[in-house]
Chain A
């Protein structure tokens, strides 16, 4: 019994550890890449973001953040976009790969 529980616990833990970490695009550290998980807002801004290419699974990469909470610069698919952090917060991203050293 106890053995079974342990195995289950390990399996759950394992899936948590290997599953991609989901975060908002605004919190993606510079240099890190991810895949779009979802655009949360259901309004004109959300529709606009999806039309620009933030579709589910699209590759996205944080290039840099402006200082003092300024806009962020990201590579989405094949182009570079500047957007404010408040907008970037609406985009959920599955983080991929290892942090750059």
Chain B
């Protein structure tokens, strides 16, 4: 099988082409930096030939030694894959050829046969760009295939071009650039060392020599002994000496500019491009800020109001299933495990699916249209002020879904301190696991407040406030960390603004499906497992009221009420409830709750919420089924819908007042309660101390913030 690399600038549709060719479903977006790792897949051609395709991370160049460029370089030269690539398909954005051809030249310099995929040719034509493809292709010396990857247009032609080059690689060699004398000299000076040290059979290519010439001398010496000295003599990094890397870049662009001038015609855009006309409004100094806040507010209102009918339906369904299970099974331990453990966990997962889907529908539309990348323009000032690097933007954005992929996305950051700082604040972005908690608390204490101005739900506002709180605390933490634990760093923001596009339904459905699957399967199984464990902790040891005491209470009820009267039934029910509460208090979970109560009492939480907090330390969403069990003990009525029931029990038992609810939400917005995130931090920083540091500082901060809210609120006269 032939090894074929798929290289290209970020956001050129490289991953889309990879998915089209392999039938895979890697995540595609409209902002640069989606692919951090290398994906592999097999493409079967029309004639039955099979290619092993390697999707490389998008990069603008091959000489900067950032992680994604190193992955791309190593894969192309065969240092990570068995044998070098037989061919590279370089995906080119047809509307932005010059910068894209720069990468194509660099790949060709490595001595690898190249085919250019002129992608998004339809968008280029819509902009009025005219490309003389046959003559441009002849001038460069490699086939260029116009295509529209997302519509599958041009795939057959690409296959043919690749087959042609594979059959006759010698015929399609891109002539090396005419390097300026200083560059040529430097290349020839390092080649012998490289050829002998790297054991290259055919001799080092110009590209390989230039890669090392751009490298840090210490790094080079570590990988190729003796190279560092040669490099230091050749590449003065300061002063006015010949700068090899800069000169090589200028030489490549001079060549590209001559092609562009001859075979590429831009139409005169009298009033700017269509994208720019949209930007004029959307990124307007103050209108832009208004639109940004408006878009966020709309999103959260949609999450809260739009999801309600679907949540009620899921709720009703789950309650019906629970009732049915109760009617079918005899009252036994098994029934309790199934209904209070498993079914409660399943309900707590499924009931939040509509909200998660609406949230991600909104994010997917914003992302695919190109708006999300532009929010960098709106918020970067804030980030720069506190010392967050420009490159932190995409990882922080991903952390709103989940901190784990967000932290993994920091791999694109070259500066270690920048990366560490971003990892330390990423868990503060309100992830989707916090949404169920916010929803439950809002339903318990803010649901009955009248809508503001008749249409804005206060719950939606409070939740939007929690998202903002997380972001603000992240900024403050970054500010402090930059001046204490993580000094230095500060990599630049260089973010390409993608063109505005209509969101593509296929992409959005794909994104939603991925999200839904992850939530139901992965998150769901954790929730169900934990809710069974918590059920067990709450049910054993099974010690209710002392039998003598219980008998006394029953006697008293029987003495003071008439037989068969409603009062007697009610009285007996109260006894049952007290029995159940005693059982909970005596259980393992109850004792644990009592153990932590002194710590959390100043925040307004009693030992029962303490049980919920303990459960939430494994996974935040578990709070919902846990509180459902805590407050549902001894109550037989399952007539209400699930979240509504838990919320009502919370409110009626006096466990949660609006002030306590706010305190609880603030705690969840800040606290580090996710074991997978801690594990990811430990893996990515390769240190337990940073992982523990995050646990300590975030939970400490959460405790203090919660304390401030509760005690401050009490001082102001709230309960």
Contact = CB atoms under 8 A, between A and B. Distances in A.
B238 interface: yes
Contact of B99 (A45, A56, A66, A78): A78
A51 B494 contact: no
Interface string B97-120: 111001000000000000000000
A60 to B, nearest CB: 13
A73 B283 contact: yes
A46 B496 contact: no
A52 interface: yes
A15 B495 CA distance: 38
B377 A71 contact: yes
Interface in B262-290: 266, 275-276, 279-280, 283, 285-286, 289
Contact of A52 (B99, B275, B376, B380): B99
Given A47-B64, A51-B249, A71 B380 contact: yes
B60 interface: yes
Nearest to A75: B276
B60 A51 contact: yes
B378 interface: yes
A82 B497 contact: yes
Contacts of A6: none
B576 interface: no
Given A63-B276, A67-B286, A78 B377 contact: no
A70 B381 contact: yes
A84 interface: yes
A3 interface: no
Contacts of B276: 63, 75, 80
A47 B266 CA distance: 27
Interface residues of B, number: 43
A51 B496 CA distance: 13
Given A47-B246, A55-B253, A64 B279 contact: yes
Nearest to A83: B494
B95 A78 contact: yes
A43 B243 CA distance: 10
Contacts of A84: 380, 384, 390, 492-493
Interface residues of A, number: 35
A49 B496 CA distance: 12
A78 B96 CA distance: 5
Interface string A58-98: 10000110111111010101111111101100000000000
A30 B146 CA distance: 35
A22 interface: no
Contact of A47 (B95, B96, B214, B378): B214
A86 B185 CA distance: 35
Output the residue of A44, A51, A63, A77 with the most chain B CB within 10 A: A51
A73 B495 CA distance: 9
A63 B243 CA distance: 31
A78 B260 CA distance: 11
Contacts of B245: 47
Given A43-B237, A67-B286, A81 B494 contact: yes
A77 B496 CA distance: 12
A58 B254 CA distance: 10
B64 A73 contact: no
Given A47-B245, A51-B63, A77 B493 contact: no
Given A51-B63, A51-B249, A77 B99 contact: yes
Given A51-B249, A84-B390, A73 B494 contact: no
A65 B378 CA distance: 10
Output the residue of A43, A79, A86 with the most chain B CB within 10 A: A79
Given A67-B286, A78-B97, A84-B380, A46 B493 contact: no
B61 interface: yes
Contact of A80 (B214, B254, B497): B497
A46 B95 CA distance: 25
Contacts of B556: none
A62 to B, nearest CB: 12
Contacts of A86: 492
Nearest to A74: B497
Nearest to B393: A82
A78 B63 CA distance: 22
Interface in B308-331: none
A100 to B, nearest CB: 11
Output the residue of A66, A75, A87 with the most chain B CB within 10 A: A66
Contacts of B102: 51, 53
A63 B278 CA distance: 12
A82 B376 contact: yes
B292 to A, nearest CB: 12
B283 to A, nearest CB: 6
B499 to A, nearest CB: 8
B157 interface: no
A15 to B, nearest CB: 25
B250 A45 contact: no
A69 B493 contact: no
Interface string B240-264: 0001011001100110000000000
Nearest to B237: A42
A50 B98 contact: no
A53 to B, nearest CB: 5
A58 to B, nearest CB: 8
A79 B492 contact: no
Contact of A73 (B237, B243, B279): B279
Interface string B486-520: 00000011111101000000000000000000000
B493 A71 contact: yes
A83 B393 CA distance: 13
Contacts of B249: 47, 50-51, 55
A101 to B, nearest CB: 15
A47 B496 CA distance: 17
29 contacts: A46-B246, A48-B494, A51-B60, A51-B63, A51-B64, A53-B99, A53-B253, A55-B249, A58-B253, A63-B279, A66-B377, A66-B381, A67-B286, A69-B381, A70-B380, A71-B380, A71-B493, A77-B98, A78-B266, A80-B496, A83-B493, A83-B494, A83-B495, A84-B380, A84-B384, A84-B390, A84-B492, A84-B493, A87-B493
Given A71-B493, A77-B96, 17 more contacts: A46-B246, A47-B214, A52-B99, A55-B253, A55-B254, A66-B283, A66-B378, A67-B285, A70-B384, A71-B376, A71-B390, A78-B95, A80-B275, A81-B496, A83-B493, A86-B492, A87-B493
Interface of B: 60-61, 63-64, 95-99, 102, 214, 237-238, 243, 245-246, 249-250, 253-254, 266, 275-276, 279-280, 283, 285-286, 289, 376-378, 380-381, 384, 390, 492-497, 499
> 5 tightest CB-CB pairs across the interface, nearest first?
A70-B381, A80-B497, A51-B61, A78-B96, A55-B253
